Amino acid sequence: MATDTAINPPSVNRDAPARPVAARPAVDAPLEPTEALLAELAEANDRLETATPDEIVKYAVDRFFPKLTMGTAFGPEGCLILAMLSKVNKDVYVFNLETGYQFKETHELRDRIAEKYGITVAYHSHEQTVEEYEKANGGPLYKTNPDQCCFDRKIKVLRQSVVGMHAWFTGIRRNQSPDRAQAPIVGWDAKFNLVKINPLANATKADVWKRIVDEDVPYNELHDQGYPSIGCAPCTRAVLLGEDERAGRWSGTAKTECGLHALGDNK
Ligand code: SF4
């Protein structure tokens, strides 16, 4: 259970975006992992192993647009992929799981990205507003049952968000964790029945931040205020010197992930 010291007041800016959201493609049959498709992906993966992130982004757009998407929480990797996408195709449909509890700085970043790159990330939200949801649950579930809150306001929404899509980008980097060390550049994502493209698989955190600085890519200003990992406001705090990067997420609880990475195990 979250302690009161871990709670920040939600502060949400729901102003209209600076530019319209890209059109979402019509829903048709999902992609099937046929032998031919898997062979194609294996060939692309081998070929792109030494490609630059920009070349990988271009491959994905050429091969899968308009059935190509990305979900982003506006972390550094997501912002960099948006910057790369803006040079190739601004009409790729990108979405954010807008739980209703995100920081105002995150919403402002969405607007800054729209302004700079002409890509407005679509907000995808639970059908109930925060007010309705809290009323239905006798108060904010992030205090009493954050797993359920993440499941309702992130995971369920994510599952709906990718219906009809064939491929998606992620910001996974291989050196983020042992789990991610084997991430392909291009591969089949069996949890979602999508082709997964990881343009930054070979990048380090330093590579990502160097490009952000060199190319003046907008990033969440909370990173400059001691927040290395940014999620929802009530469940994120700044970290102290020497603490793990993710120590500020669900601080004071046993929870460490929202469940997106273990989706197959969720109800
Ligand atoms: Fe709810 Fe916190 Fe999960 Fe956001 S991170 S969905 S507020 S429990």
Which two tokens mark 171? 């910001």
pTM for this entry: 0.88
Quick check: is 258 catalytic? yes
Task: Tell me the pairing of strands 93-97 and 68-71.
Answer: parallel
User: pLDDT tens across 189-201, in order?
Assistant: 999 999 999 999 9
CA distance 65 to 59: 10
Ligand 1 binding pocket mutation candidate from 11, 153, 155, 256 (most atoms within 8 A of CB): 153
**Ligand 1 atom showing the smallest separation from residue 233 Cα:** 7
Q: Is 4-17+49-164+204-265 a CATH 3.40.630.40 domain? A: no
Q: Looking at ligand 1, which residue's alpha carbon is closest to its atom 4? A: 232
Given this model, what pLDDT does residue 26 score? 79
Beta bridge partners of 169: 70, 197
Helix/strand/coil for 60: helix
Residue 234 Cβ < 6 Å to ligand 1: yes
Binning pLDDT at 50, 70 and 90, where does residue 239 land? confident
pLDDT at residue 257 greater than cutoff 50:
yes
CA 250 – ligand 1 centroid, Å: 8
Q: Are 21 and 161 in contact (CB under 8 A)?
A: no
Euclidean distance between CA atoms 60 and 68, whole angstroms: 8
Model confidence at 7: pLDDT above 50: no
